[in-house]
Structure 1
Amino acid sequence: MRTRRTLLAALSAGALTLSAVAVAGTAPTAGAEGPADTRPGSHPAKPKGELATYARDTWRSFDAMTVPRTGLPADNIAGNLRAGTRSTFTSPTNIGAYLWSTVAARDIGLIGKREARKRMALTIETVGRLEKHEPSGQFYNWYDPRSLEKLTVWPESGDEVQPFMSSVDNGWLATGLLLAARAEPALADEADAIREDMDFGCYYNEAEGQGGQIRGGFWDEDFGDPVRVKGDYCGMGEDVWYTGHHYGAFNTEPRMASYLGIAEGQIPAKHYFGTFRTFPGDTCDWSWTEAQPTGEWATYEGVEVYEGALDYRGMKIVPTWGGSMFEALMVPLFVPEETWGARSWGVNHPLYVQGQIEHGLQETDYGYWGFSPSNNPAGGYREYGVDALGLDGAGYTSDQERTDWDQPWEECGREGEPAPTAAEYGDGVVTPHASFLAYRYAPDAALENLRNLRRDFDAYGKGGFYDAVAVESGQVSQRYLSLDQGMVMAALGNALAGDDMRDYVVPGGLTEQVKPLMEQEVFSAAPRG
């Protein structure tokens, strides 16, 4: 299976891409934006028509991706939105995103309450019929959205699929179920019954580091891979085969699964501090990573944390694993990290966006910005990011040529090399969903970037922005991916309906258990000067 559609790659400490999303549509209601919110990190009032148009068209792509009989979204669809071009596979992330996007469409005014309830009821009923790993309540990573069968053969190639339970993908399904239950009380019993059966403690390895870390996932059959680790972390009563890697980087999208596990009491609070802000910079043990961080040690909940940051263009930024936008900013679509963690996320999220902007406009002179895993305009799927904003030594690069920067770590004998000049970067690949993720933190810049992409390229179709643009060659990936469209819909739900995505998700366990942890921490992130 290809990069994104494979079983989770064995990253030693970072995050990984997930699967995708889908949903449905009609026309927007005038004046759906609502009153301006002046809280820190909130959305200022912006032109209603522009955002509403993006929401209407993005929702149309979801409608086309959804199988009417089952209520499950396909992973992706061609830009012409013809039903025959739907993919014949879907994932837990896709399904969760369909649920939250349906709520966003309702709250924005694209569909009525009755239609939204009908759509979610069908989807939740279908999810209840999917085969899953019963002892853990976790769902397999790939299903046929028409027949509902878990995939054992990849439909595009005929390759074998080893059915797998992914911690990150199940986290996004649980997020969609939680949001749907809060947004539509008539469906709460059904949605909560599925979600409450999902035990995220089954991924949590307390023995990894001081605070423990979660595995990428597990298989419920032994396929003979010696890298996999046999065990049972949550008292399932039977062994499973875990990925050889943990999610060891903090600023990555798997933290949503961690938050949900902590909120439900399935994972201890200390786990919040058990992953790396950066690897310690006072030793050469981690000198294979991107750059030498600076920082100091602190202790929270009995866990020693290296509060490190990387220097990027004079800013101190807590990096993601690969340097991509969705690793950093998909989670705060649902959790008000910059408010709860004013001295941590509240400092870092805007700086991370600024770093992406400066990479696209100044460091590379692409003229556009927003780098995140997406369809490759040349074919297939690829991770894109800002190499210097990632922990991984190889990093996710922003261009097709994979131009990276081997930075020095002189104390450990790594001399490095000069930073690439703008002329050395090649065909940069920009994905519109990154601008929507950044909208909360840089609204004017995000809208301008989107307008420029739409003006300068054939980047917009019936279903909104196509997935990715190679800005030098002008090549466009004219497909819609439900993951990426789902991030767009969640961002627009927050922007046009008063942070509804967050307001449905955070009451209860997340506020009671996770917020106090965020309030404690102080990142070493800092702006220039």
Structure 2
Amino acid sequence: MKRLFGLFLIAIVFVGAVLYFTSTPVRTTTQPKNGMEKELLETAEKTFRFFEDYTDSETGLTMDRVDFEQDETKAEHTSPTNIAMYMLGMVSGVELGFISKKDAEQKLEKTLRTLNEMETWNGLYYNWYYTQDGTQKKDWGQFISSVDNGWLTAGLMVTGQYFEGLKDLTDPLVEQMDYSTLYDPSVGHLHGGYDKEQESLTPHHYGMLYTEPRVASYLAIGKGDVPEEHWWKLYRTFPPEFDWQSQTPTGSMVDYDGIKVYQGVYEYDGIKYVPSWGGSMFEALMPSLVMKENELGVNALGLNNLHHVQGQIRYAEENELDAWGFSPAAIRNNYGEFGATVLGTEGYEDKGIVTPHASFLALEHAPDEVYDNLKKLQDMGVYGEDYGYYDTVNLQTGEVAHTYLSLDQGMILTAITNYLKKGVLRDYFHQDPIGERPEHLLEVEDFGIRD
């Protein structure tokens, strides 16, 4: 009898230990090797705290924006991209030891069940929903965005691969997101989106490869919703006869899978690159948070990512700016598009405004330069004690936007995670067959930008 009782006690202790270690964050999963990694981990934990504090506990939807200029001001609506950033943020939180996998899975299950009830168009999500109940925020229109849905699909893919218990919820949502309804076969491009109120697709398309919609293009091909030729129909640069672009490209016609592609190249101060539209870090490097561009596109997208980082740093130096990192971000009571103008096909206007998320996106390409730049931003008062880096600083006036956007917080957190955990988010994205099938598109291309 005593022996049975002893075994019973051992069993209780064992079960208790299992429950403890599966419900309590294990804060030793990431051991910083140096002062820089320690600071990155501290920033990541504060950034993760933003998602915990500003995500509705019932719906699992994260607020779009929170301002701290005077009193706390919450923007209690969300977008498909914001939801994706929350999902990637939860995976990051587990990987870095801020939350247990069990607790993160329970939180994400709420988000997925809310997504399953939200109104969609051909399985694709509208731009804005209220965080309290998941209903549409119709006073801002009823628009379905190609790029925003692409990010949501990517977030669902990573979530389903990372949390196997959630695949029964993520897979059907991904399957129903039908990108063929946004595809224009006459030009081989995705429309910008669909306006439900006007009952019409946008007249404009996402026609450039090196902008953030390439995530949607890539996974739409991986899903089989659009043909593979779509990838080769996207412009690297516009042809030289398009004389409105910021510079005349050099290059030649190259054949990929029977499709002629103009392999055009820009050049800035000895750096060769394929341009984005506005010259921003967001367009250039955000897709590499989930796509294995750096690993697979060694002669194309991966190398181009490095050159854009180098270009942004050089641009700040040549314009005698005290810091670098140009990308769309929040300003006081508003939002603006910022870039290193020369790196864009048209180029966003340079207003001397930098944003920390642009530095974090560059971590895997220039860690020492990023660390030095972040120190400068801290000295300018851009670092908040509760949730990490504020969104922007105006280098001319010193004005800091004491604002947090869930989009930018998500980019910071996932970029740190990929840096500290060797591209873990990309691994899970490509573990999904949708992410794996088009990998050859990344591998085969050569932009012709080697020194």
**Deviation at residue 54 of structure 1 after TM alignment:** 0.8
What SS class does the counterpart of residue 194 from structure 2 fall into? Answer: strand
Q: Residues 455-466 of structure 1: matches in 2 within 5 Å?
A: 455-466=379-390
Aligned to 2:38: 49
Aligned to 1:370: 325
- Give the CA RMSD over aligned residues: 1.9
2:225 to 255, 266, 269: 266
The answer to whether the 8 Å contact 1:343/1:522 transfers is yes
2:342 to 374, 378, 388: 388
Q: In structure 2, what residue type is equivalent to 1:193? A: P
Aligned to 1:19: none
**Deviation at residue 85 of structure 1 after TM alignment:** 2.4
The answer to whether the 8 Å contact 1:57/1:462 transfers is yes
Q: Residues 194-213 of structure 1: matches in 2 within 5 Å?
A: 194-208=173-187, 212-213=188-189
Q: Residues 348-427 of structure 1: matches in 2 within 5 Å?
A: 348-360=304-316, 362-377=317-332, 379-392=333-346, 395-399=347-351
Deviations 1:277-331 (A, max 9, x none): 10112x2xx1111111111110112211111111111211110011000101001
The answer to whether the 8 Å contact 1:348/1:526 transfers is no
Q: Is 1:489 aligned to residue 413 of structure 2?
A: yes
Task: Rate the CA distance shift 1:292–1:46 in 2: closer, same or farther, 3 A.
Answer: farther
**Deviation at residue 31 of structure 1 after TM alignment:** 5.8
Distance in 1 between residues matched to 2:94 and 2:294, nearest whole Å: 26
Q: In structure 2, what residue type is equivalent to 1:214? A: L
Aligned to 2:279: 323
Aligned to 1:93: 81
Q: In structure 2, what residue type is equivalent to 1:108? A: L
What SS class does the counterpart of residue 260 from structure 2 fall into? Answer: strand
Aligned to 1:105: 93
Q: In structure 2, what residue type is equivalent to 1:99? A: M
Aligned to 2:30: 32
What SS class does the counterpart of residue 272 from structure 2 fall into? Answer: strand
Q: In structure 1, what residue type is equivalent to 2:422? A: G
**Deviation at residue 459 of structure 1 after TM alignment:** 3.5
Deviations 1:474-519 (A, max 9, x none): 1000010000001011111212233221111012434543211122
Distance in 2 between residues matched to 1:336 and 1:31, nearest whole Å: 24
Q: Is 1:171 aligned to residue 125 of structure 2?
A: no
Q: In structure 2, what residue type is equivalent to 1:276? A: Y
2:119 to 131, 141, 148: 131
The answer to whether the 8 Å contact 2:418/2:424 transfers is yes
Deviations 1:168-190 (A, max 9, x none): 00111111111111110011101
1:294 to 247, 250, 257: 250
Q: In structure 2, what residue type is equivalent to 1:104? A: S
Distance in 2 between residues matched to 1:497 and 1:80, nearest whole Å: 34
The answer to whether the 8 Å contact 1:200/1:260 transfers is no
Aligned to 2:4: none
The answer to whether the 8 Å contact 1:430/1:471 transfers is yes
Q: In structure 1, what residue type is equivalent to 2:445? A: E
Q: Is 1:142 aligned to residue 142 of structure 2?
A: no
Distance in 1 between residues matched to 2:70 and 2:93, nearest whole Å: 18
**Deviation at residue 248 of structure 1 after TM alignment:** 1.0
Distance in 2 between residues matched to 1:337 and 1:261, nearest whole Å: 17
What SS class does the counterpart of residue 93 from structure 1 fall into? Answer: helix
Aligned to 1:5: none
Identity %: 38
Distance in 2 between residues matched to 1:48 and 1:456, nearest whole Å: 21
Task: Rate the CA distance shift 1:46–1:287 in 2: closer, same or farther, 3 A.
Answer: farther
1:121 to 94, 109, 115: 109
Task: Rate the CA distance shift 1:46–1:443 in 2: closer, same or farther, 3 A.
Answer: farther
**Deviation at residue 387 of structure 1 after TM alignment:** 0.9
Aligned to 2:196: 220
Distance in 2 between residues matched to 1:464 and 1:508, nearest whole Å: 32
Q: In structure 1, what residue type is equivalent to 2:192? A: G
The answer to whether the 8 Å contact 1:65/1:81 transfers is no
Q: Is 1:63 aligned to residue 18 of structure 2?
A: no
Deviations 1:66-110 (A, max 9, x none): 11121100101124898x622021111111110110110111101
The answer to whether the 8 Å contact 1:181/1:192 transfers is yes
Aligned to 2:137: 151
Bigger radius of gyration: 2
What SS class does the counterpart of residue 506 from structure 1 fall into? Answer: helix
Distance in 2 between residues matched to 1:389 and 1:261, nearest whole Å: 27
Distance in 2 between residues matched to 1:462 and 1:46, nearest whole Å: 20
The answer to whether the 8 Å contact 2:157/2:432 transfers is no
What SS class does the counterpart of residue 297 from structure 1 fall into? Answer: strand
What SS class does the counterpart of residue 95 from structure 1 fall into? Answer: helix
**Relative CO higher for 1 or 2, CA cutoff 8 Å, sep ≥ 6?**
1
The answer to whether the 8 Å contact 1:166/1:216 transfers is yes
Aligned to 2:164: 185
Distance in 1 between residues matched to 2:391 and 2:98, nearest whole Å: 22
Aligned to 2:213: 254
Task: Rate the CA distance shift 1:196–1:525 in 2: closer, same or farther, 3 A.
Answer: same
Aligned to 2:259: 303
* TM-score normalised per structure 2: 0.91
Aligned to 1:14: none
The answer to whether the 8 Å contact 1:270/1:302 transfers is no
Distance in 2 between residues matched to 1:122 and 1:465, nearest whole Å: 28
Distance in 1 between residues matched to 2:255 and 2:286, nearest whole Å: 27
Task: Rate the CA distance shift 1:31–1:518 in 2: closer, same or farther, 3 A.
Answer: closer
Distance in 2 between residues matched to 1:355 and 1:466, nearest whole Å: 24
Q: In structure 1, what residue type is equivalent to 2:304? A: N
Distance in 2 between residues matched to 1:498 and 1:310, nearest whole Å: 30
Distance in 2 between residues matched to 1:474 and 1:221, nearest whole Å: 42
Aligned to 2:296: 340
The answer to whether the 8 Å contact 2:309/2:362 transfers is yes
Q: In structure 2, what residue type is equivalent to 1:198? A: M
**Deviation at residue 131 of structure 1 after TM alignment:** 1.0
**Deviation at residue 113 of structure 1 after TM alignment:** 1.6
**Deviation at residue 455 of structure 1 after TM alignment:** 2.0
The answer to whether the 8 Å contact 2:32/2:38 transfers is no
The answer to whether the 8 Å contact 2:32/2:41 transfers is no
The answer to whether the 8 Å contact 1:469/1:476 transfers is yes
What SS class does the counterpart of residue 271 from structure 1 fall into? Answer: helix
Structure with the higher fraction of residues in helix conformation: 2
Gaps of 5+ in 2: 1-23
Distance in 2 between residues matched to 1:307 and 1:522, nearest whole Å: 8
The answer to whether the 8 Å contact 2:26/2:100 transfers is no
2:378 to 441, 448, 454: 454
**Deviation at residue 147 of structure 1 after TM alignment:** 2.6
The answer to whether the 8 Å contact 1:34/1:497 transfers is no
Q: Is 1:77 aligned to residue 66 of structure 2?
A: yes
**Deviation at residue 461 of structure 1 after TM alignment:** 3.3
**Deviation at residue 458 of structure 1 after TM alignment:** 4.4
